[in-house]
Structure 1
Amino acid sequence: MTILDNRPHSAVVVIDVQVDVMAAAHERANVIASIGTLVERARESQVPVFWVQHSDADMAQGSEGWRIVPELSQQPDEPVVHKRYGDAFEDTTLEDELLKRGIGRLVIAGAQTDACVRSTLHGAFTRGYDVTLVHDAHTTEDLSSWGAPPPAQVIAHTNLYWAHQTAPGRVAAVGSAAGVEFAS
């Protein structure tokens, strides 16, 4: 139901599952395993997988901490989007890459739930995409010492509110890595 014309295809977008970002992630091993399941299912269904990598002063592009976690393998034909802002659309090639492939529906996983995942969810939805959040394939670190809720609550709240997100002509949904539908 995307409002984007002539864009019937789906893609998986894996956000910032980088060594430094995932170092202190809540349920790290389980989330990485779920992302692995999601990525393999997408590949089997011939659904493109996009890898998003953040860089900034604390995580330089090309550094060891900037790399995708070793448990996940990016295929040579899978696009990589380099970003410097929370929303993976801001000042990146993501929109152009999706347009070239006729993609209007995104399945989103990665880190961090309360920052880049949330920013990209909203960025995609306001740009007209149908957006599915994979409830068992996103995570964040514990920021409760700065006043945030514990990570499990941040993740649960994001899953809850995204399941009820609405806008004209677009679909927001939540699904599992093993069961999410790639076609609308």
Structure 2
Amino acid sequence: MTPTTALLVIDVQQGNTAEGWDRDAVVGRIAGLIDRARADGVPVIWIQHEAGPFVPGSDTWQILEQVRPGAGDTVLGKRYLGSFADTDLKARLDALGVTRLVLCGAATDACIRSTAARSQIEGYDTVLVADGHTTDEGPWDLPLPDGSSVPVGAREMVAFTNFVVGDTEYPGVRTEVVPAADVTW
């Protein structure tokens, strides 16, 4: 039987998670998802950022010890925020017969957000693991149109991303935002 769902583990690297909000709990939930996917024969595809400070072989680039690719997993390097940009991810998914992606990893405001959006645009049913992604604690001072700014922390960024992904609609695409415990294949 050809799998229709794949687990996409995005940039769970030392440089993306060192200051991550709720890091240990998020990584623990990701580890649980990986174990479940492997046990159920669901393809696990790892995305590993390889640009900027994420120089291949560097400490920053390394995938966390707690969640390592296993035999049979696919590891795909990328140079841009979105996992589909300038990679063969779509071709690999199509070759596996994948029509539904479960997304987890880091960083919420960058690689998770852009990969979720592109997944939906490409026509994949998309499941964002609500408690399975993180980003740096922040806060960030986000600019407003009047020139002032508003401070936003990681918790708010995670909540906002969950809302935006869950509220986005594309023709023929089903989108879900669910906690790790409720993920089904």
Q: Do they fold alike, i.e. is TM over 0.5?
A: yes
Contact 1:18 1:68 in 2 (8 A): yes
Q: Which has the larger radius of gyration?
A: 2
Give the whole-Å Cα distance in 1 for the aligned partners of 2:140 and 2:90. Answer: 36
Q: SS where residue 170 of structure 1 aligns? A: coil
For residues 96-119 of structure 1, the C-alpha deviation after alignment (integer angstroms, 9 at most, x for no partner) is 111110001000000000100000
Contact 1:31 1:138 in 2 (8 A): yes
Give the whole-Å Cα distance in 1 for the aligned partners of 2:128 and 2:39. Answer: 20
**TM-score normalized by the length of structure 1:** 0.91
Query: CA, structure 1 residues 57+168, in 2 after alignment: closer, same or farther (shift >3 Å)?
Result: closer
Provide structure 2 residue ranges, at least 5 long, that are not aligned to the other structure.
Answer: 143-150
Provide structure 1 residue ranges, at least 5 long, that are not aligned to the other structure.
Answer: 1-6
- Quote the offset at 1:162 in angstroms: 2.0
Contact 1:8 1:105 in 2 (8 A): no
Equivalence map 1:87-102=2 (5 Å): 87-102=82-97
Considering Cα pairs closer than 8 Å and 6+ residues apart, tell me whether 1 or 2 has the greater RCO: 1
Equivalence map 1:66-145=2 (5 Å): 66-145=61-140
Q: Does residue 159 in structure 1 map to residue 154 in structure 2?
A: no
Q: SS where residue 152 of structure 2 aligns? A: coil
For residues 7-46 of structure 1, the C-alpha deviation after alignment (integer angstroms, 9 at most, x for no partner) is 8700000100001111111111000001011111111111
Contact 2:141 2:152 in 1 (8 A): no
For residues 34-89 of structure 1, the C-alpha deviation after alignment (integer angstroms, 9 at most, x for no partner) is 10111111111111010000011312012122111011121121001100001100
Give the whole-Å Cα distance in 1 for the aligned partners of 2:109 and 2:158. Answer: 8
Give the whole-Å Cα distance in 1 for the aligned partners of 2:52 and 2:128. Answer: 29
Give the whole-Å Cα distance in 1 for the aligned partners of 2:165 and 2:117. Answer: 10
Equivalence map 1:2-41=2 (5 Å): 9-41=4-36
- Tell me the residue number matched to 1:181: 184
Query: CA, structure 1 residues 47+8, in 2 after alignment: closer, same or farther (shift >3 Å)?
Result: closer
Q: SS where residue 178 of structure 1 aligns? A: helix
Identity fraction in percent: 37
Contact 2:53 2:60 in 1 (8 A): no
Contact 2:3 2:42 in 1 (8 A): no
The aligned length equals 176
- Tell me the residue number matched to 1:64: 59
Give the whole-Å Cα distance in 1 for the aligned partners of 2:137 and 2:179. Answer: 23
Contact 2:31 2:67 in 1 (8 A): yes
- Tell me the residue number matched to 1:171: 174
Superposition RMSD in Å? 1.4
